[in-house]
């Protein structure tokens, strides 16, 4: 077991592992950190951000909507599938417009298609099948269902409606039915019927869904900043591309997350890093003791506990070289002893004269003089 940790020392688990690395190792490491008496940094998406993962606010909303749709679909409650799936589609469409991956789009449309087919809603099923084809299809849709709803020209024999699309941010990217259509403000002619309009620009994104009709010639898509509290951390860690970060990058991270210790994982390898104070750069802790494989986490945490106690006791850091007096000029015989320059004496005399009275007294019976300094 590792040595007792300093009370609730905050420890960041920075995961730079490739995608192929076992994901459950992170959970095991976090559990070991907590069991050793440390405080593993988590909550509000920070643990995900420290692995370079996405922590946008709408990611949680999207996950909630998809979970609700999946649960209702599994329980054959299509009346509850539809609103949850449509909510997920809108959020995912906005993320798509912002350049984010949106695999949830295909899954949500799959739920809608299969529900519409089950309840014999022909028009809804045709729309869902059309949207799903745009997104590349879905392996979860049986071939027999695809056959029932063949690809058709969605515009043929349908009235076109002129629509002006605007957003809070000029020049925002506009996507209509999962295709990029242009930038705002945008004038388009849409076939009458249901559409999903998404927009993203200046770090914000949003969506609107509804039916295009002649009575409404304009649509304004509201945009909101979806960056989470730790989005910047996630982008910084992801930008390291799985390579060990330079000490300056770790210094930025420690300052941002208010920590001074981290366990850095790369696949099965782990290392302890720390920073005594903000005036110096982070460094590896414990030498060979502070690194190893995931199975060595208790030993690595023991090295961290030792270093933290040293820091808190203001003892010399064993991982840092001690400052010593330079001996460069000691023992050199090539430098002859040189006389002291006259201005050194002048400086000393000048300093002594400040605030003092100098008395020169002749000693009796000799030619010597005695100098006395009297300070007020």
Q: pLDDT band for position 151 (50/70/90)?
A: confident
- pLDDT for residue 330: 46
pTM of the model: 0.64
- pLDDT for residue 18: 83
Whether pLDDT at 250 is above 90? yes
Whether pLDDT at 368 is above 70? no
Least confident segment among 50-54, 70-74, 121-125, 288-292: 50-54
- pLDDT for residue 218: 92
- pLDDT for residue 111: 98
pLDDT tens digits for range 191-208: 988 999 999 998 899 999
Q: pLDDT band for position 50 (50/70/90)?
A: very high
Average pLDDT over residues 239-254: 96
- pLDDT for residue 55: 78
pLDDT tens digits for range 312-364: 988 777 777 655 444 444 444 444 444 444 333 344 344 444 444 444 444 44
**Residue owning tokens 């304004």:** 220
Average pLDDT, the chain: 85
- Assess if CATH 3.30.360.10 describes domain 10-52+245-312: no
**For residues 235 and 364, which has the higher predicted lDDT (pLDDT)?**
235
Average pLDDT over residues 142-158: 81
**For residues 219 and 2, which has the higher predicted lDDT (pLDDT)?**
219
Q: Domain locations in the chain?
A: 10-52+245-312, 57-225
Least confident segment among 32-41, 45-54, 124-133: 45-54
Average pLDDT over residues 30-57: 91
pLDDT tens digits for range 74-87: 999 999 999 999 99
Decide if 83 contacts 54 (C-beta within 8 A).
no
**For residues 367 and 14, which has the higher predicted lDDT (pLDDT)?**
14
- pLDDT for residue 157: 64
Average pLDDT over residues 220-242: 93
- pLDDT for residue 362: 45
Residue 138: CA count within 13 A, CB half-sphere: 23
- pLDDT for residue 158: 75
Q: pLDDT band for position 371 (50/70/90)?
A: very low
Percent of the chain residues past pLDDT 70, beyond the cut: 80
The set of residues, in sequence order, having a beta carbon less than 8 Å from that of 83 and lying 6+ positions away, is: none
Average pLDDT over residues 262-270: 95
């Amino acid at each position: 077991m590792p040595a007792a940790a300093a009370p609730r020392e905050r420890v960041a688990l920075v995961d730079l592992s490739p995608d192929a690395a076992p994901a459950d190792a992170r959970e095991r490491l976090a559990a070991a950190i907590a069991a050793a008496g440390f405080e593993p940094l988590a909550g509000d998406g920070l643990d995900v951000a420290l692995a370079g993962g996405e922590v946008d606010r709408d990611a949680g909303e999207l996950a909630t909507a998809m979970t609700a749709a999946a649960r209702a679909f599994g329980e054959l409650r299509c009346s509850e599938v539809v609103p949850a799936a449509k909510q997920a589609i809108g959020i995912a469409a906005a993320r798509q417009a912002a350049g984010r991956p949106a695999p949830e789009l295909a899954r949500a449309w799959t739920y809608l298609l299969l529900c519409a087919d089950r309840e014999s809603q022909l028009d809804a099923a045709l729309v869902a099948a059309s949207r799903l084809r745009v997104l590349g299809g879905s392996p979860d849709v049986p071939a027999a269902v695809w056959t029932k709803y063949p690809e058709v020209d969605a515009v043929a024999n349908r009235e076109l409606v002129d629509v002006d699309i605007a957003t809070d941010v000029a020049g925002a990217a506009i996507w209509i039915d999962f295709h990029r259509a242009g930038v705002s403000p945008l004038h388009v002619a849409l076939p009458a019927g249901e559409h999903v309009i998404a927009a993203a620009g200046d770090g914000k994104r949003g969506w609107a869904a509804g039916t295009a009709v002649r009575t409404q010639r304009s649509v304004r898509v509201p945009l909101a900043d979806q960056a989470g509290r730790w989005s910047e951390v996630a982008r910084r860690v992801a930008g390291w591309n799985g390579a060990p970060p330079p000490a300056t990058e770790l210094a930025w991270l420690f300052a941002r997350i208010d920590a001074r210790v981290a366990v850095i994982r790369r696949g099965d390898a782990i290392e302890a890093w720390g920073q005594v104070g903000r005036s110096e750069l982070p460094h590896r802790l414990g030498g060979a003791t502070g690194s190893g494989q995931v199975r060595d986490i208790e030993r690595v945490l023991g090295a961290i506990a030792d270093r933290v106690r040293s820091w808190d006791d203001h003892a010399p850091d064993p991982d840092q070289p001690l400052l010593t007096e330079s001996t460069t000029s000691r023992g050199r015989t090539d430098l002859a002893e040189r006389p002291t320059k006259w201005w050194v004496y002048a400086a000393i005399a000048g300093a002594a004269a400040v605030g003092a009275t100098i008395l020169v007294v002749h000693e009796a019976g000799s030619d010597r003089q005695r100098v006395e300094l009297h300070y007020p």
